[in-house]
């Protein structure tokens, strides 16, 4: 069991998401940085999609009530197990009674905003519609369908001893993407793209976008050049997915994120490719980035690159655990 010690808002149990339920009006939820969640699980020998805790407000403290192998990925939070500092993107082993503390994210070579605490066997919460992710809007999934609170006790899957004490290369460094010194995110132009003025379309790619404070797991409101359609666009509500970039009347876009509702009526200028959603999921409020135009083939290649990186980590971590166990 792990006990939540801090009175921290907005930490939730997440996995890789509840896919396949959009037709029932159930959004996907899931980790804002699925690569970090998967990497933490693979370090521990868990399935990549085991449930973990997503932390986005710091400091965050938990106590292990029994021995537990764990991994921390995502934002570098200068974590400590009791008094001992832990490296970022690293696995460790806690004894019963030890406290894990995550401080404010620090960003020397990569600025990120969400950390993931993975545990051996995963966080043991019920599977609902094929996922353990917290669905906040519907108040189901995860731990009692809500964000974690001080005093919550979470069961972990298994207490079996694991080889720990090694880590993963952060994908932000292994799979970097930037333009003009700013992080970059690849976008497919979507249904209403061609209905925006040529100047708006050019500015969409050329100008940096800033993540405003009105940004959370539901969506990111961006600030940048005003996007103007050639003529007013009125649409009926239609299905949308995380990554869709909508443009409300003010001309400042909203990116739908993991907790997005499954339908909307604003015009869509683009869709962030699935392989790059983690980059935006980690981008801190106030930071700036560029959109890069891509196409279907490149989007699939980017997804394959992410999967190849995870497969490489899985294979090498497995070999390392095997070799260490044999020693």
Partner 1 sequence: MTLSAPDIARLSAWLAETDLAELELRGPGCHLRLRLRQDAGHVTPIAEPVTLHSVTSPSVGVFLPAHPLHDTLLAPAGTLVEAGQPVALLRIGALLLPVTAPVPGIVAEILATSGATVGYGTPLVALHPVAE
The answer to whether 59 contacts partner 1 (rule: CB under 8 A) is no
- Please select the residue that binds partner 1; options are 97, 130, 165, 239, rule is CB under 8 A: 165
Whole-angstrom distance, CA of residue 169 vs CA of residue 19? 28
Q: How many residues would you count in the chain?
A: 327
- Closer to partner 1 by CB, 206 or 316: give it: 316
Q: Contact letters (x/-) for partner 1, 271-310, by CB under 8 A?
A: --------------------------------------xx
CA atoms within 13 A on the CB side of 228: 6
State the minimum distance, in angstroms, from the CB of residue 2 to partner 1.
Answer: 24
- Please select the residue that binds partner 1; options are 48, 168, 244, 247, rule is CB under 8 A: 168
- Please select the residue that binds partner 1; options are 61, 157, 166, 178, rule is CB under 8 A: 166
- Please select the residue that binds partner 1; options are 104, 235, 301, 316, rule is CB under 8 A: 316
Q: Which of these, 144, 278, 281, 153, lies nearest to 211 by C-alpha position?
A: 281
Number of residues counted as binding partner 1 (CB under 8 A): 24
Whole-angstrom distance, CA of residue 210 vs CA of residue 285? 8
- Closer to partner 1 by CB, 2 or 77: give it: 77
- Please select the residue that binds partner 1; options are 139, 173, 206, 300, rule is CB under 8 A: 173
State the minimum distance, in angstroms, from the CB of residue 249 to partner 1.
Answer: 41
Q: Hey, what are 237's tokens?
A: 């509500």
Q: Contact letters (x/-) for partner 1, 115-154, by CB under 8 A?
A: ----------------------------------------
The answer to whether 58 contacts partner 1 (rule: CB under 8 A) is no
The answer to whether 322 contacts partner 1 (rule: CB under 8 A) is no
The answer to whether 33 contacts partner 1 (rule: CB under 8 A) is no
For the beta carbon of residue 237, count every other beta carbon within 10 angstroms. Answer: 11
State the minimum distance, in angstroms, from the CB of residue 319 to partner 1.
Answer: 9
- Closer to partner 1 by CB, 63 or 111: give it: 111
State the minimum distance, in angstroms, from the CB of residue 106 to partner 1.
Answer: 8
Which contiguous run of DSSP H or E holds residue 73? strand 68-74
- Between vectors from CA 7 to CA 5 and to CA 10, what angle results, nearest 5°? 110
- Please select the residue that binds partner 1; options are 58, 70, 89, 220, rule is CB under 8 A: 89
Q: Specify the pairing of strand 263-264 against strand 238-239.
A: antiparallel
Q: Which stretches of 26-85 are DSSP H helices?
A: 34-44
The burial of 7, by beta-carbon neighbours within 10 Å (0-12 exposed, 13-18 middle, 19 or more buried), is given as: exposed
The answer to whether 183 contacts partner 1 (rule: CB under 8 A) is no
Report helix angle 34-44 to 296-326, nearest 10.
20
Three-state secondary-structure class, residue 301? helix
How far out from the chain centre does Cα 30 lie? Answer: 7
- Please select the residue that binds partner 1; options are 33, 76, 259, 276, rule is CB under 8 A: 76
The answer to whether 87 contacts partner 1 (rule: CB under 8 A) is yes
Which contiguous run of DSSP H or E holds residue 318? helix 296-326
CB 266 within 8 A of CB 238: no
The reply to whether omega before 57 is within 30° of 0 (cis) is no
CB 246 within 8 A of CB 221: no
- Please select the residue that binds partner 1; options are 170, 243, 264, 267, rule is CB under 8 A: 170
Contact footprint for partner 1 (CB under 8 A): 39, 76, 87-90, 108-110, 165-170, 173-174, 309-310, 312-313, 316-317, 320
């Amino acid at each position: 069991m792990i006990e939540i010690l801090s009175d921290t808002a907005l930490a939730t149990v997440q996995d890789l998401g509840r896919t396949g339920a959009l037709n029932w009006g159930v959004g996907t939820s899931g980790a804002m940085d699925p690569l970090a969640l998967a990497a933490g699980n693979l370090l521990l020998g868990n399935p990549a999609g085991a449930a973990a805790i997503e932390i986005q407000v710091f400091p965050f403290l938990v106590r292990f009530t029994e021995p537990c192998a764990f991994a921390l990925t995502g934002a570098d939070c200068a974590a400590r197990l009791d008094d001992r500092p832990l490296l970022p993107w690293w696995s460790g082993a806690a004894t019963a009674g030890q406290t894990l503390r995550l401080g404010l994210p620090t960003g020397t070579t990569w600025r990120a905003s969400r950390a993931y605490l993975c545990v051996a066997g995963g966080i043991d919460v019920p599977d609902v519609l094929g996922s353990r992710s917290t669905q906040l809007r519907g108040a189901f999934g995860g731990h009692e369908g809500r964000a974690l609170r001080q005093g919550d006790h979470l069961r972990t899957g298994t207490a079996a001893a694991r080889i720990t004490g090694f880590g993963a290369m952060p994908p932000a460094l292994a799979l970097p993407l930037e333009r003009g010194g700013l992080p970059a995110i690849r976008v497919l132009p979507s249904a209403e793209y061609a209905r925006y003025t040529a100047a708006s379309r050019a500015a969409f790619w050329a100008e940096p976008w800033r993540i405003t404070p009105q940004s959370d797991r539901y969506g990111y409101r961006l600030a940048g050049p005003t996007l103007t359609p050639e003529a007013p666009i009125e649409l009926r509500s239609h299905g949308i997915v995380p990554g869709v970039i909508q443009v409300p009347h003010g001309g400042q876009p909203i990116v739908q994120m993991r907790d997005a509702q499954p339908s909307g009526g604003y015009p869509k200028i683009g869709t962030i490719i699935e392989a790059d959603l983690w980059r935006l999921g980690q981008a801190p409020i106030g930071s700036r980035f560029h959109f890069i135009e891509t196409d279907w083939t490149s989007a699939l290649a980017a997804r394959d690159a992410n999967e190849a990186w995870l497969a490489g980590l899985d294979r090498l971590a497995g070999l390392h655990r095997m070799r260490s166990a044999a020693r």
